[in-house]
Structure 1
Amino acid sequence: MWLILCLALFFSSGQTALATEQVEVFDSDQQKVIATFDNTPALQKEAQLILDSVSGRVLEFNPSLDHVRVVKIPLVPPKRLTQRSAGIEADIAEMFVVIPKKGSRPPWLILHTKQYETIVVEFSVSVKTLKELVKLP
């Protein structure tokens, strides 16, 4: 009985689920993933802060993916995003934070929903903490 209880607690732990999904940093200039990290509670918390600051859809027809770093964060479990003014109500399974290396364009998000849809949005929170967590300059 104790063994079953211990195994149930081990497999229901949020830490176990997070450990299976890696956070990746992609560099568009190098055209490859340059770093991977464990998907820690700190990264999940930062991802939630970013999602909470979504201000609307990206209005540019085709935002540039040149000279950027993209931080891919799987959301475990998926997070609910409701942004009524932009008509967004979805469960987000994965977020890609696009961080331009130079220029005046602020960072933006590419979101993948549980329903396999893609949403491109702006957000207002600083990416300073995220950059520290994934060791970006």
Structure 2
Amino acid sequence: MWLILCLTLFFSAGSANGGEQVELFDSDKQQVVATFANSDVFQKEAQQLLRTVSGRVLELNPSLDHVMIVKIPLAPPQRLQHAPSGIDTEIAEMFVIMPKKEGRRPWLILHTKEYETVVVEFSGAVDQLRASVRLR
């Protein structure tokens, strides 16, 4: 979990525009490799992914090695309710973790309006998001 916290702090510190841009981070390069305007396309994709949350990540420390991470600030924050997991909060920022290699499905790191971190699985597809950030 410390790695997740460090990564999210790194992301937040790297934003030159108050966190309003969408950022693409490559864990192998340890840097933001692209930024995008936080458009309606990204907001709609984020909302769709939140609607497909299926529960909390049960791994103690999910790997952030060999992944691409898309940071999407939510404007306005979006409500996430998932009763089986006890989640009922407003999400201010979303990190979509997409492994480069097969074997693990993408997952989310979410920051709430109350500055808490929630790590969840989702069942939605990331094809549209990958196209929006120009990943193959």
- Please indicate, yes or no, whether the TM-score normalized by the shorter chain is above 0.5: yes
3-state SS of paired residue (1:77):
strand
Flag the structure with larger Rg. 1
Deviations 1:76-129 (A, max 9, x none): 000000000000001000000000000310000000000000000000001000
Q: Which residue of 2 aligns with 1:31?
A: 30
What TM-score does the superposition give when structure 1 sets the normalisation length?
0.85
- Local SS of the residue matching 1:103: coil
Alpha-carbon distance between aligned partners in 2 of 1:23 and 1:103, rounded to the nearest angstrom: 24
1:90 match:
89
- RMSD in angstroms over aligned alpha carbons? 0.8
- 2:72 maps to 1:79: no
SS in 1 for 2:71: strand
Look up the match of 1:127: 126
Rounded Cα–Cα distance in structure 1 between residues aligned with 2:21 and 2:102:
29
Taking structure 2 as the reference length, the TM-score comes to 0.85
Match of 2:43, SS?
helix
- Taking the aligned partners of 2:72 and 2:43, their CA distance within structure 1 comes to 8
Q: 1:115: which partner in 2?
A: 114
User: Aligned AA for 1:47?
Assistant: A
Aligned residue pairs total: 118
The one-letter code matched in structure 1 to 2:131 is E
Equivalent AA in structure 1 for residue 44 of structure 2: K
Tell me, in whole angstroms, the C-alpha distance in 1 between the residues paired with 2:25 and 2:70. Answer: 6
Structure 1 portions without partners, runs of 5+: 1-19
The runs of 4+ residues in structure 1 deviating greater than 4 Å are: none
